[in-house]
Amino acid sequence: MSWRELEEELGRWRDAGRVADFWWRDDDASTLATGLQRLLSLSARNAVPLALAVVPLKAAPELFAGLGASVLMHGTDHRNRAAPGEKKTEFAAAEPQADAIARLSAARERLARQAGASFLPVLAPPWNRFKRALAARLPAAGLHGLSAYGPRAAAEAAPGIRQVNTHVDIIDWRGTRGFAGEDAALRAAVKHLAARRSGAADRAEPTGWLTHHALHDAAAQAFLERLFERTRALGARWLDPVALFPSRP
C-alpha cells in the first residue's frame, strides 16, 4: 500500500462531496517522558488535536502542566486481571461489576482533579477490551464515553455512552513491537475509509489513528509527520476529541 492509494481514496471522498475525517488517540501516558514530549510537539506543530489516554493511578502531576491535549481515562491502573486462558484485560470476566465500577469511579475522580479542563469523561480500556455488560453502568462512575479498537457497532455503546473507536494501530504488536511500517498503516486506513464511503462501516465514525509514544522510533515519528502534512494538504480534517465526546449525556 502506498501514499498514492491513500490519496486516491481521499480523492474518492472529495468526488462524492464528502470530507474525510480522522482523529488521533495515544495510549499509556503516565509521565512526561521524552517520547510523549516529542508527540505533543508534533501535535502542536501540525495543529492536529491529540487525545491522550492516561493511566489514572500512575499519572504524575507534572504530566498535566500546560498539557496541549485532551485527556481520556486509560483504565484505572493498567493491571492485567485476566484469568488463565483469558486475553489480557483490566476488566476480567470474574470481577464483580460493582467492584469494577467502584474502581473506575475512584480513578475518574483522581484523573479529573489532576487534568482539570483537559479531562474528558471517556474510558479507553487497556488492551481495548471491556466487558459489554459494564458499558451501561459507566455513568455511575461519571463516564459518558468509550473508545476501543475496530469499527463500532453503533454510535452509543449503551444509552448515554458515546463510542468512537480507533482503526489504525501503527505498532506491530505481534512482531517487532515497533513501528508497523507505512504499508500496514496505510492499508488499514484505506480499508476503513473505503468501508465508510461504501456504507460497510459506520459513515459517521471518523477514522481513528492509535499510537503508543513509548514505542515510537524515528520512522514512526517521520510517518506521522508525513501523514499529517499530506492528509491536511488533501483536504482531510482532523477532529478535536472534545467535539467527538460530550461531557455529559
pLDDT in tens, 205-246: 999 999 999 999 999 999 999 999 999 999 999 999 999 997
> What does the pLDDT average to over 7-25?
97
> What does the pLDDT average to over 185-199?
98
> What does the pLDDT average to over 179-186?
96
SS3 138: helix
Instruction: Give per-residue pLDDT as tens, 58-89.
Output: 999 999 999 999 999 999 999 999 999 999 99
For residue 116 the three cell numbers come to 482539570
Beta strands in the chain (DSSP E): 21-29, 51-54, 70-73, 119-123, 145-146, 156-158, 161-163, 168-169, 207-211, 237-238
CB 159 within 8 A of CB 136: yes
Instruction: Give per-residue pLDDT as tens, 106-139.
Output: 999 999 999 999 999 999 999 999 998 999 999 9
Phi-psi region of 137 (alpha: psi -120 to 50; beta: other; left: phi over 0): alpha
Partnered with residue 209 across adjacent β-strands are 24, 168
CB 75 within 8 A of CB 125: yes
Other C-beta atoms lying within 10 Å of the C-beta of residue 62? 10
Would you give the end-to-end CA distance of the chain in angstroms?
40
150: which DSSP letter?
A: S
Cα 184 → chain centroid: 18
pTM (2 d.p.): 0.95
For residue 154 the three cell numbers come to 453503533
**pLDDT of the residue at 249:** 44
CB 158 within 8 A of CB 107: no
